[in-house]
Amino acid sequence: MTRKTRRLWIVIACVACVGSAAALTLRAFSSNIVFFMAPSQVKANPPSPDRTIRLGGMVMAGSLHRINENGTPVNAFEVTDGQAAVEVHYTGILPDLFREGQSVVALGTVQKDGGFTASEVLAKHDETYMPKEVADELKRTGKWDPRFGKAPDASSWDTMTAKKAGG
């Protein structure tokens, strides 16, 4: 075994491993990347029902109610970004920090009827915290300008104009 052949073996092993790692990564990326969408984007072009997305926005105040589907409790609430609202169904215990009028991120799929079935609902530890994606979306649509204080109550968004939010 000379130095050269040993090096050849090592190079072959490296190429094989790194190559398969790259192939696996790409394959996993193509089927498992989760895009973030705001409710208005979901309404405008709904993704296919087999595609998992992250839906983010504020929980519309007064929209939370429970449905009982064959003994399993389902939480239903509306998530809004101020332009559109999407009805979310979630089976399970809502996180401790879930509140109406506060921001939320839900992981799940959009159904054919336009509803959203969540497999996971995230509300962050800090009650003044808003997920970055949600804050960006609010700023982009002109519903909220952080220079003028706290984000407005979610229930008012659908009727609110950008001017009112800023002033």
Partner 1 sequence: MFGPEQGHFALALACVLALVQFAVPLWGASRRDARLVGLAPYLAVSQLIALGYSFLCLVMCAVSDDFSVQNVAANSAVSKPLLYKITGVWGNHEGSVLLWTLILAVCGGAVSLFGRNLPDILRGRVLAILGGVSAGFQMFCLLTSDPFDRVFPAPMDGQGMNPLLQDPGLAFHPPILYTGYVGFAVPFAFAVAALIEGRVDAAWGRWVRPWAVAAWCFLTCGIALGSWWSYYVLGWGGYWFWDPVENASLIPWLTGTALVHSAIVVEKREGLKIWTVLLAIATFSFSLSGTFLVRSGILNSVHAFANDPARGVFILALLAIVIGGSLALFAWRAPSLTSTGLFSPVSREGSLVLNNILLCSICAVVVTGTMYPPFMQLLAGRTISVGKPFFDAATIPLTLPLLLAMGVGTALPWKRAQLARTFSHLYAAAGIAAVGLVLCFWKLSGILPIACGALAVWVIAASVSDVLRRIGIGHTSAQGVWERMKNLPRSSWGAALAHIGAGITILGLCGMSQAEHAIVEVHIGETRSLAGDDWTLLDVHDYIGPNYKAMQADIAIRHNGKLVTILHPEKRDFTTQSQTTTEVAIHTNFITDLYGVVGDRHGTGKDTTYVLRLHRNPLAPWMWLGGLIMAIGGAFSLSDRRMRIGAPKRAAARNMARA
Beta carbons within 8 Å of 53's beta carbon, 6+ residues apart: 34, 35, 36, 37, 42, 47, 107, 108, 109, 110
Considering only residues 13 to 72 of the shown chain, the ones binding partner 1 according to CB under 8 A are 13-14, 17-18, 20-21, 24-25, 27-29, 31-36, 52, 54, 66, 68, 71-72
Nearest approach, Cβ of 161 to partner 1 (angstroms)? 26
The tokens for 51 are 């595609």
What 3-state class would DSSP assign to 142? Answer: coil
Strand bridging mode 103-110 / 52-59:
antiparallel
For partner 1, the closer CB: 65 or 164? 65
- Could you say whether residue 96 binds partner 1 (CB under 8 A)? yes
Which range, of 2-10, 76-84, 142-150, 154-162, touches partner 1 by CB under 8 A? 2-10
How many residues belong to the site for partner 1 (CB under 8 A)? 44
